[in-house]
Structures are given as structure tokens and as C-alpha cells.
């Protein structure tokens, strides 16, 4: 998917950016954990409303989706044999790391648990 197509598609979805990312009708296959990682990589606060994103933020988001999913695929492919029943997740930067130092700035990673869904992000790095 090209950036213009991605942007167009994003415009059809109202609401908070993280909700859009985990929505299968937007893009299939981005789970809760990867949505947190993508938003961290893009420097975007998970509760930002889609309508407030600038075109450069949308471009960062587009890039981050590719980068995070490609990295994840590579790690999981290499380590799949380690333990088939255990999800390989310790390489994640912020998801599941509430209270631990942000890998970018060192301030504690925030954690919000709402609607049975964990959201982790850095209040300093993600705006
Ligand atoms: Zn940070």
C-alpha cells in the first residue's frame, strides 16, 4: 500500500488512532501489542484523534507500521523454535513495559488498562 492510499484509507476511520490501528477493517493483522509499538515508533500518542494528525505524522505512522511489522516478522521467524507456546514478545519496546524506563528517554512507560486492553506509551516521546 502506498502512502496516498494509506492516507485515504485512514481518512475513512474516525476516532482515536490506536483504535483505528487495531481495527481489522482498517488493516488486518495489527494486534494490540504491535499497535503500541507502532505508535511509539511514530512518536504518536495513542489517544490522539485521527483528525488531529498532520500529514507528516501520517507519513511517520505509515513508515512505522512497515518498520515494526518487518522487524517483528524477522525476530519471530528466527525465534519461533524457542518455545512454541510462549509468544515471543520480549523484544517489544513499550508494550507490557509499564513502569519500566522508556528505551528512548528513560522516563517511566505509562500503562492504561481500559476495556480489557492494555495500552503502553511514553508520555514524553509520544505527542
Ligand atoms: Zn520516552
Asked if 61 and 35 touch (Cβ cutoff 8 Å), the reply is no
Whole-number Å distance, alpha carbon 104 to ligand 1 midpoint, is 5
Residue 114's contacts (CB-CB under 8 Å, 6 or more residues apart) are none
Whole-number Å distance, alpha carbon 40 to ligand 1 midpoint, is 8
Secondary structure (3-state) at 32: helix
pLDDT of residue 76: 79
Whole-number Å distance, alpha carbon 9 to ligand 1 midpoint, is 29
In tens, the pLDDT along 9-65 reads 999 999 999 999 999 999 988 999 999 999 999 999 999 999 999 999 999 999 999
Amino acid at each position: 500500500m502506498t502512502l496516498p492510499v494509506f492516507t485515504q484509507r485512514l481518512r475513512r476511520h474516525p476516532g482515536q488512532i490506536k483504535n483505528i490501528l487495531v481495527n481489522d477493517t482498517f488493516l488486518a493483522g495489527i494486534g494490540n501489542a504491535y499497535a503500541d509499538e507502532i505508535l511509539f515508533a511514530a512518536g504518536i500518542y495513542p489517544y490522539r484523534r485521527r483528525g488531529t494528525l498532520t500529514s507528516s505524522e501520517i507519513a511517520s505512522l505509515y513508515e512505522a507500521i512497515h518498520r515494526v511489522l518487518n522487524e517483528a516478522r524477522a525476530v519471530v521467524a528466527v525465534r519461533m523454535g524457542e518455545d512454541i507456546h510462549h509468544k515471543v514478545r520480549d523484544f517489544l519496546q513499550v508494550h507490557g513495559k509499564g513502569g519500566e524506563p522508556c528505551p528512548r528517554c528513560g522516563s517511566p512507560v505509562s500503562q492504561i488498562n481500559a476495556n480489557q486492553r492494555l495500552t503502553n506509551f511514553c508520555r514524553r516521546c509520544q505527542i
